[in-house]
């Protein structure tokens, strides 16, 4: 099959030259034919093997290193990135924040506790986009409040519903995504905003309820019932806790491809970039990052759930090159799954790879770094496909990566 296709390509090239043949001397015509055949013969075998693996399917491939494209196939075609969008989000996050940055969750009130440890009024929990708040974190916050000298809360513990918007939709999402694939992204999260497998709308109230119990267990009296609302302006911080470092949170997001993490972090990025903590603002912030690196992408969310997102394999390859040159490049690589891990659990166990997957109905993507067996060199790649089954797409991706890892050599002279 591959040989037949290559011969067909040669015939097409020769046919294209036919109009010139009458005006060329016989010796020149023979030279053209010999040059065409010689060029084909000198092409590395691994590239021919890639051609055969791709066939005539709608697959875009871009492979290269150090600013040079080694192999390309429809690399300019715009396709949905699926969860490769999280790779772009990771780049934008590391470009904006230090990998060691932490995200605060605050306990705040209108006034500080008095000399007897009495807090007059309500105690607010204010989140800033940590997607990993759970019972242990609430317990730490309760301990920090007690350590700050609070002994009595005369009001209630209330979860703040700001500063992010409560939007739960993006262009290109399917109707069932909020119910099945992405919990409500909020600034104050609690247990991934899910209860008994159901996506909830009141994580702030549940966090307040849990903090009330945790405070009482530490001997802090809370008189009111827990609740949730928009926090008033001018609150004074009483205590706070810090998240894991950003590099850890991003790794948790990328290795398992967690949509909730992505949209919460996207809203945080959008809020810091524009003052708007929305899904659309997060997408615009990612888009602004890719624009600065010369890529004309179309992005509507941070998770990659949108079928309306459009990127190119060559564009992602160039962004990977830019990441390699950035101070956080190695951190980004370590954020991605290795073979046999996370979303690559059943793939590439014997290959040294760091990559981000992407999957939607009839859409698949795989981009990242792979090490060559021939030289030990690490090179970048991006593979995007749409219009056919996930199983077939991933089989092609696996074949491409194995050919590159086991056979590819630097085509540069």
Are residue 114 and residue 218 in the same domain, yes or no?
yes
Please say which residue of 180, 212, 243 terminates a domain: 243
Q: How far apart are CA 149 and CA 368, in angstroms?
A: 49
Q: Beta strand pairing status for 157-160 and 227-229?
A: parallel
Average pLDDT of each block of 10 consecutive residues along the chain (413 residues)?
A: 41 42 47 46 90 97 96 98 98 98 98 96 98 98 98 98 97 98 98 97 98 98 97 97 98 98 98 98 98 98 98 98 98 97 94 98 98 96 97 97 96 72
Question: In the chain, what are the helix, strand and coil shares in percent, each to the nearest 5?
Answer: 45, 20, 35
Question: Quick one: pLDDT at residue 7?
Answer: 39
What DSSP assignment string belongs to 114-152?
A: -TTSEE-S-EEEEE-SBTT--HHHHHHHHHHHHHTT--E
Are residue 298 and residue 383 in the same domain, yes or no?
yes
Q: Fill in the DSSP letter of residue 184.
A: P
- Element (H or E) spanning 391, and its range? helix 390-407
Please say which residue of 177, 210, 243 terminates a domain: 243
Are residue 197 and residue 111 in the same domain, yes or no?
yes
Query: C-alpha distances in angstroms, 276 versus 22, 102, 287, 358, 373?
Result: 67, 20, 15, 27, 47
Are residue 149 and residue 160 in the same domain, yes or no?
yes
* Token digits of residue 238: 């009483």
Rg, C-alpha atoms of the chain: 27
Q: Any residues with CB less than 8 A from the CB of 152 and at least 6 apart, and which? A: 116, 117, 118, 119, 220, 221, 222, 223
Question: Quick one: pLDDT at residue 13?
Answer: 44
Burial (CB < 10 A; 0-12, 13-18, 19+), residue 16, is exposed
Q: How far apart are CA 382 and CA 364, in angstroms?
A: 11
124 in any annotated domain: yes
Q: Any residues with CB less than 8 A from the CB of 377 and at least 6 apart, and which? A: 65, 371, 410
Q: How far apart are CA 209 and CA 204, in angstroms?
A: 9
Q: How far apart are CA 284 and CA 282, in angstroms?
A: 5
Question: Quick one: pLDDT at residue 2?
Answer: 39
- Element (H or E) spanning 153, and its range? strand 152-153
271 in any annotated domain: no
308 in any annotated domain: yes
Contact 161, 229 (CB under 8 A): yes
Please say which residue of 219, 243, 267 terminates a domain: 243
Are residue 111 and residue 234 in the same domain, yes or no?
yes
Question: Quick one: pLDDT at residue 411?
Answer: 84
Residues 47-88: pLDDT tens digits? 999 999 999 999 999 999 999 999 999 999 999 999 999 999
Question: Quick one: pLDDT at residue 32?
Answer: 41
Residues 318-348: pLDDT tens digits? 999 999 999 999 999 999 999 999 999 999 9
Burial (CB < 10 A; 0-12, 13-18, 19+), residue 15, is exposed
Are residue 26 and residue 132 in the same domain, yes or no?
no
254 in any annotated domain: no
CA triple 139-145-151, angle to 5 deg? 115
What DSSP assignment string belongs to 317-330?
A: HHHHHHHHHSTTHH
* Token digits of residue 330: 């190695």
Q: Fill in the DSSP letter of residue 400.
A: H
Residue bearing tokens 């009111």: 224
3-class SS at 354? strand
For the chain, the domain total comes to 3
* Token digits of residue 397: 């991706």
CATH classification of the domain holding 363: 3.40.710.10
355 in any annotated domain: yes
Residues 96-126: pLDDT tens digits? 999 999 999 999 999 999 999 999 999 999 9
Are residue 148 and residue 18 in the same domain, yes or no?
no
Contact 62, 316 (CB under 8 A): yes
């Amino acid at each position: 099959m591959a040989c037949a296709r290559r011969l067909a390509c040669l015939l097409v090239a020769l046919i294209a030259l036919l109009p010139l043949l009458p005006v060329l001397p016989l010796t020149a015509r023979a030279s053209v034919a010999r040059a065409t055949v010689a060029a084909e013969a000198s092409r590395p075998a691994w590239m021919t093997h890639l051609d055969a693996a791709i066939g005539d399917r709608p697959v875009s491939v871009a492979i290269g290193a150090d600013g040079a494209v080694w192999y390309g196939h429809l690399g300019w075609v715009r396709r949905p990135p699926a969860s490769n969008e999280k790779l772009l989000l990771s780049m934008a996050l590391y470009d904006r924040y230090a990998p060691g940055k932490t995200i605060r969750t605050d306990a705040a009130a209108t006034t500080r506790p008095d000399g007897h440890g009495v807090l007059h009024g309500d105690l607010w929990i204010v989140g800033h986009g940590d997607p990993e708040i759970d019972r242990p974190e609430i317990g730490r916050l309760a301990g920090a409040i007690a350590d700050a000298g609070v002994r009595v809360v005369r009001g209630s513990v209330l979860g703040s519903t700001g500063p992010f918007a409560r939007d739960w939709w993006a262009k290109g999402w399917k109707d069932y995504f909020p119910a099945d694939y992405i919990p409500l992204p909020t600034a104050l999260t609690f247990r991934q905003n899910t209860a008994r497998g159901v996506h909830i709308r009141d994580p702030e109230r549940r966090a307040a309820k849990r903090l009330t119990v945790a405070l009482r267990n530490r001997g802090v009296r809370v008189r009111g019932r827990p609740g949730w609302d928009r926090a008033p302006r001018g609150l004074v911080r009483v205590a706070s806790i810090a998240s894991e470092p950003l590099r850890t949170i991003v790794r948790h997001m990328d290795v398992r491809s967690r949509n909730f993490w992505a949209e919460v972090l996207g809203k945080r990025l959008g809020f810091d970039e524009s003052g708007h903590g929305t899904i659309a603002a997060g997408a615009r912030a990612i888009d602004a990052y890719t624009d600065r690196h010369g890529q004309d992408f179309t992005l509507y969310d941070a998770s990659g759930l949108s079928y309306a997102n459009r990127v190119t394999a060559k564009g992602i390859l160039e962004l990977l090159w830019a990441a390699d040159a950035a101070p956080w490049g190695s951190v980004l690589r370590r954020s991605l799954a290795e073979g046999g891990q996370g979303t690559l659990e059943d793939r590439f166990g014997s290959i040294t790879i760091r990559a981000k997957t992407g999957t939607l109905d009839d859409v698949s993507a795989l981009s990242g770094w792979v090490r060559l067996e021939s030289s030990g060199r690490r090179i970048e790649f991006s593979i995007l496909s749409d219009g056919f089954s996930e199983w077939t797409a991933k089989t092609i991706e696996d074949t491409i990566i194995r050919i590159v890892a086991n056979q590819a050599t630097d085509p540069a002279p």
